[in-house]
Amino acid sequence: MTGFPYLRIRSLGKAYRGATALHDFDLDVEQGAFVALLGPSGCGKSTLLQILSGLLEPDRGEIHLAGADITRLPPWRRNIGLVFQNYALFPHLSIRQNVRFGLDMLGIKGKEADARVDEALEMVGLDPALARRPSELSGGQQQRVAIARAIAIRPRLLLLDEPLSNLDAVLRQKVRLELRQLHDRTGITTIMVTHDQAEALATADRVAVMEAGRLLQYEAPQGLYRNPATAFIAGFIGSPAANLLPLVARDNASWILPGGELWQPDAALAPAQNGVAAGAACLMALRPETLALGSLGPGGLPVRIGAIEFTGGDQLVHVEAGEARLTLRLPAGTHVAGPAAWLFPPIQSPLLFDANTGRRLPTPH
Amino acid sequence: MKSRFSDAMTFAVVLAILIFILAPILVLIFSAFDGGNIFRFPPRTYSLRWFEAAFNHPEYRSSLWISTLLGVIATVIAVSLASLAAFGLVRGRPRYRFAVEVLLLAPLTLPLVVWAIALLSIYAELGMNGTLTGLILAHVTITLPFAARIMIATLNEIDPRLEAAAKSLGATPAQVLRRITLPLARPGLLSSSAIAFLVSFNDVVVTTLIAGAGWITFPVRTFSRLRTEGIDPTTIAIGAMIVAFTLLLILVGQRLFQLSRRF
pLDDT tens-digit map of B213-238: 788 898 888 888 878 877 777 878 88
Please tell me the distance from the alpha carbon of residue A47 to that of residue A42, in angstroms, as a whole number.
9
Q: Cβ contacts (< 8 Å) between B179 and chain A: which residues?
A: 101
Inside any domain, residue A33 = yes
Domain closes at, from A234, A252, A286? A234
Residue pLDDT, tens place only, A250-285: 999 999 999 999 999 999 999 999 999 999 999 999
Please tell me the distance from the alpha carbon of residue B153 to that of residue B191, in angstroms, as a whole number.
12
Residue pLDDT, tens place only, A12-52: 999 987 788 899 999 999 999 999 999 988 889 999 999 99
Whether residue A60 contacts residue A12, with contact meaning beta carbons closer than 8 Å, is answered with: yes
Inside any domain, residue A2 = no
How far does A160 lie from chain B, in Å, by closest CA?
12
Please tell me the distance from the alpha carbon of residue B121 to that of residue B142, in angstroms, as a whole number.
17
Q: Which of B169, B180, B184 sits opposite A102 (nearest CB)?
A: B169
Q: Cβ contacts (< 8 Å) between A84 and chain B: which residues?
A: 161, 164-165
Query: How far is C-alpha B137 from the geometric centre of its chain's CA atoms?
Result: 16
Same-domain status, A114 and A157: yes
How far does A92 lie from chain B, in Å, by closest CA?
7
Task: State residue B262's pLDDT score.
Answer: 46
CATH of the domain at A226: 3.40.50.300
B159/A88 Cβ within 8 A? yes
Amino acid identity of residue A107, one-letter, is G
Q: Cβ contacts (< 8 Å) between B182 and chain A: which residues?
A: none
Q: Which of B162, B167, B175 sits opposite A90 (nearest CB)?
A: B162
**How many CB pairs (< 8 A) connect A and B?**
63
Inside any domain, residue A364 = no
Task: State residue A365's pLDDT score.
Answer: 59
Please tell me the distance from the alpha carbon of residue A17 to that of residue B239, in angstroms, as a whole number.
58
Whether residue B63 contacts residue B249, with contact meaning beta carbons closer than 8 Å, is answered with: no
Inside any domain, residue A1 = no
Please tell me the distance from the alpha carbon of residue A133 to that of residue A90, in angstroms, as a whole number.
9
* Cβ neighbours for B175, distance < 8 A, ≥ 6 positions apart: A76, A105, B166
Same-domain status, A328 and A309: yes
Mean pLDDT of B144-169: 95
Whether residue B166 contacts residue A149, with contact meaning beta carbons closer than 8 Å, is answered with: no
Same-domain status, A216 and A98: yes
Q: Does A17 touch chain B (CB under 8 A)?
A: no
Residue pLDDT, tens place only, B116-142: 999 999 999 998 888 899 999 999 999
A90/B165 Cβ within 8 A? yes
Same-domain status, A48 and A185: yes
Whether residue A79 contacts residue A52, with contact meaning beta carbons closer than 8 Å, is answered with: no
Amino acid identity of residue A254, one-letter, is S
Inside any domain, residue A41 = yes
Task: State residue A25's pLDDT score.
Answer: 95
Inside any domain, residue A167 = yes
Q: How much is the pTM?
A: 0.83
Q: Does A54 touch chain B (CB under 8 A)?
A: yes
Describe the crossing of helices B132-156 and B182-202 by its angle, rounded to 10 degrees: 140
Q: Cβ contacts (< 8 Å) between B162 and chain A: which residues?
A: 88, 90-91
Q: Which helix (H) or strand (E) holds A334?
A: none
**Length of chain A, please?**
365
Same-domain status, A209 and A286: no
Please tell me the distance from the alpha carbon of residue A364 to that of residue B243, in angstroms, as a whole number.
92
How far does A294 lie from chain B, in Å, by closest CA?
56
How far does A361 lie from chain B, in Å, by closest CA?
44
Mean pLDDT of A329-353: 89
The string over A109-146, giving b where at least 16 C-beta atoms fall within 10 Å of a residue's C-beta and e elsewhere, is: eeeebeebbbebbebbebebeeeeebeebeeebbbbbb
Q: Cβ contacts (< 8 Å) between B184 and chain A: which residues?
A: 91-92
Q: Which of B162, B167, B170 sits opposite A55 (nearest CB)?
A: B167
Q: Which of B172, B180, B184 sits opposite A76 (nearest CB)?
A: B172
> What are the C-alpha distances in Å from A253 to residues A326, A350, B3?
22, 14, 79
B183/A76 Cβ within 8 A? no
| Region B56-262: CATH code | 1.10.3720.10
A82/B170 Cβ within 8 A? no
Same-domain status, A214 and A346: no
Specify which residues A65 forms β-bridges with: A7, A68
Q: Order of strands, edge to edge, in the sheet holding A243-249?
A: A262-263, A255-256, A243-249, A281-286, A351-354
- Whether residue A105 is predicted with pLDDT greater than 90 in this model: the reply is yes
Residue A88: strand, helix, or coil = coil
Q: Which domain holds residue A87?
A: 7-234
Query: How far is C-alpha A186 from the geometric centre of its chain's CA atoms?
Result: 22
Interface test with chain B among A84, A116, A147, by most B beta carbons within 10 Å? A84
Q: Does B7 touch chain A (CB under 8 A)?
A: no
Tell me how many domains chain A contains. Answer: 2
Q: Does A151 touch chain B (CB under 8 A)?
A: no
Domain closes at, from A213, A234, A255? A234
A150/B169 Cβ within 8 A? yes
Domain closes at, from A234, A269, A288? A234
Q: What is the 3-state secondary structure (H, E, C) of chain B?
A: CHHHHHHHHHHHHHHHHHHHHHHHHHHHHHHHCECCCCCCCCCCCECCHHHHHHHHCHHHHHHHHHHHHHHHHHHHHHHHHHHHHHHHHHHHCCCCHHHHHHHHHHHHHCCHHHHHHHHHHHHHHHCCCCCHHHHHHHHHHHHHHHHHHHHHHHHHCCCHHHHHHHHHCCCCHHHHHHHHHHHHHHHHHHHHHHHHHHHHHHCCHHHHHHHCCCCCCHHHHHHHHHHHHCCCHHHHHHHHHHHHHHHHHHHHHHHHHCHHHHC
Q: Which of A53, A84, A153 sits opposite B170 (nearest CB)?
A: A153
Please tell me the distance from the alpha carbon of residue A35 to that of residue A219, in angstroms, as a whole number.
10
Same-domain status, A248 and A203: no
Per-residue DSSP letter, A312: S
